[in-house]
Chains A and B, each alone.
Chain A
Amino acid sequence: MLNVSQLTCERDHRLLFENLSFAAGEGEVLLVEGSNGTGKTTLLRILCGLYAEFTGAVDWQLSQSPLYVGHKPGVKDLLSARENLAWLTNLYQTNVSAKQISEALSRVGLRGFEEVACGAMSEGQRKRVNLARLYLLDNQAWVLDEPFSAIDIEGVASLEARMNAHLDGGGLLILTSHLPLSLSRPVKTLRLGQ
């Protein structure tokens, strides 16, 4: 599904990685590891086409762009949770109903917050609005940058269950995380900064 070859990236005169090559396919988990500042986020942004200053090739065999969850939640303070989620899913897919959106919000523990403006929410809740997309979209590849940051323990367990379902459905998962993962599939790790 994903083939990366000879990836080299230099940022602010510092070599983040050189000639990095890897591949990932259906039902696989790729955990990108490394201490702070080793280029994990940059690598994920390169994979999603958000960062262009690199050499090498990133080749996705996908009909749809990967689902990207970054550090920024991508929600507007002035829109409600429902409006934000409807917009974020509409960017990828058209066939999501209002009922499904309510269900997804309750799955991430935001039942009753549907009409609350995201500006009045905590950091973790804003992140949850963004993560609720995982329950709505059927993108084959997920690229998640620190999906568990600012999420409580129950939220993490629920997300892991959703990730397992995604992998069982033949999806690909690429993520960074400082928390130990408990997924049903073996995790391939890619260590940066060595």
Chain B
Amino acid sequence: MSLFFGVIKRELLIAYRNPADLLNPLIFFVIVISLFPLGISPTEQVLSQIAPGVIWVGALLSTLLSMDILFRSDYDDGSLEQMTLSREPFLFLILGKIVSHWLVTGLPLALLSPLLALMLFMNEAGAWALFCSLLLGTPILSLLGAIGAGLTVGLRKGGVLIAVLILPLFVPVLIIATAMVQAGMQSVDYTGHMLWLGAILAASIGFAPIATSVGVRISLSH
């Protein structure tokens, strides 16, 4: 497992030296959400209604946008082929890359979300539910998105293809998560939703890295 932590350390160092990769999805997320009050209506009644969906769609799209960079530069400069020859299973390295991707994209989104929730007039209980849903949901987005990124990394214009491949898998997460936030806003118990997200997360941790490492190997083989 030492290479698992080695990859995370390396990825975080690279992200620190190139903060654009870290900031772009975050800025996109904030811009999308702050345009809704301007575009629809700044009233509390309307905004608090659409807030869970708006924030979650924003998180989903910004994750999708950042997915293409997950393997791109490692593929281009040959790091990825060296990783497949490593002394530890390639799977650990892939999992390390996904975890670091979540640390630099998904986690900041989750941490920022309570602020955006207040901006859209969500109540405190709703903001808390939103934070929990993003904390559980964004790792799923990174894990599932990595499958698409791994399969398309060998193609020059993989960006749109990732969206087509992966969006159907994102949809259940979006539905459960927004239902969870709405339940939270109405002070209804949302333990069931959390358990569902947790179950999807557990399944994704088990299967997504396997699918991703196979996909990357196929991409390298061209």
Which residues in A have some Cβ–Cβ distance to B below 8 Å? 48-53, 64-68, 70-79, 83, 87-88, 90-94
Give the complex CA separation of A37 and B104 in angstroms: 41
Question: Is B186 an interface residue when CB atoms closer than 8 A count as contact?
Answer: no
B1-44: contact bitstring with A at CB < 8 Å (1 yes, 0 no)?
Answer: 01100100010011001100000000000000000000000000
Find out whether the CB atom of B14 lies under 8 angstroms from the CB atom of A76. Answer: yes
Partner of A74, one of B2, B81, B220: B81
Partner of B79, one of A52, A76, A94: A76
Partner of A78, one of B14, B78, B81: B14
Interface size of B by CB at 8 A reads: 24
When distances are taken between beta carbons in the complex, the residues of chain A under 8 Å from B84 are 49-50
When distances are taken between beta carbons in the complex, the residues of chain B under 8 Å from A91 are 3, 82-83, 85-87
Give the complex CA separation of A76 and B84 in angstroms: 16
Find out whether the CB atom of B17 lies under 8 angstroms from the CB atom of A92. Answer: no
Find out whether the CB atom of A90 lies under 8 angstroms from the CB atom of B3. Answer: yes
Find out whether the CB atom of B6 lies under 8 angstroms from the CB atom of A90. Answer: yes
* 30 residue pairs from A and B, CB less than 8 Å apart: A49-B84, A50-B220, A52-B217, A52-B218, A52-B221, A65-B86, A65-B87, A68-B82, A68-B85, A70-B81, A72-B76, A72-B78, A72-B81, A73-B78, A74-B77, A74-B82, A75-B77, A76-B10, A76-B14, A76-B73, A78-B13, A79-B17, A83-B10, A87-B6, A88-B82, A90-B6, A91-B3, A91-B82, A91-B86, A92-B86
B214 vs chain A, min Cβ distance (A): 11
A90 vs chain B, min Cβ distance (A): 6
A114 vs chain B, min Cβ distance (A): 16
Give the complex CA separation of A73 and B73 in angstroms: 12
Report the nearest A residue to B6, measured CB to CB: A90
Find out whether the CB atom of B79 lies under 8 angstroms from the CB atom of A74. Answer: yes
Determine chain B's interface SS by DSSP, over half rule: helix
Find out whether the CB atom of A72 lies under 8 angstroms from the CB atom of B217. Answer: no
| Residue from A65, A67, A78, A92 having most chain B Cβ neighbours under 10 A | A78
When distances are taken between beta carbons in the complex, the residues of chain B under 8 Å from A93 are 87
Report the nearest A residue to B86, measured CB to CB: A91
When distances are taken between beta carbons in the complex, the residues of chain A under 8 Å from B6 are 87, 90
When distances are taken between beta carbons in the complex, the residues of chain A under 8 Å from B86 are 65, 91-92
Report the nearest B residue to A51, measured CB to CB: B221
Partner of A73, one of B3, B10, B13, B77: B77
Find out whether the CB atom of B17 lies under 8 angstroms from the CB atom of A78. Answer: yes
B181-199 contacts to A, CB under 8 A, are: none
B17 vs chain A, min Cβ distance (A): 4
Find out whether the CB atom of A50 lies under 8 angstroms from the CB atom of B81. Answer: yes
Partner of A79, one of B2, B13, B78, B220: B13
| Residue from B10, B85, B220 having most chain A Cβ neighbours under 10 A | B85
B182 vs chain A, min Cβ distance (A): 42
Find out whether the CB atom of B221 lies under 8 angstroms from the CB atom of A72. Answer: no
B175 vs chain A, min Cβ distance (A): 37
Report the nearest B residue to A75, measured CB to CB: B77
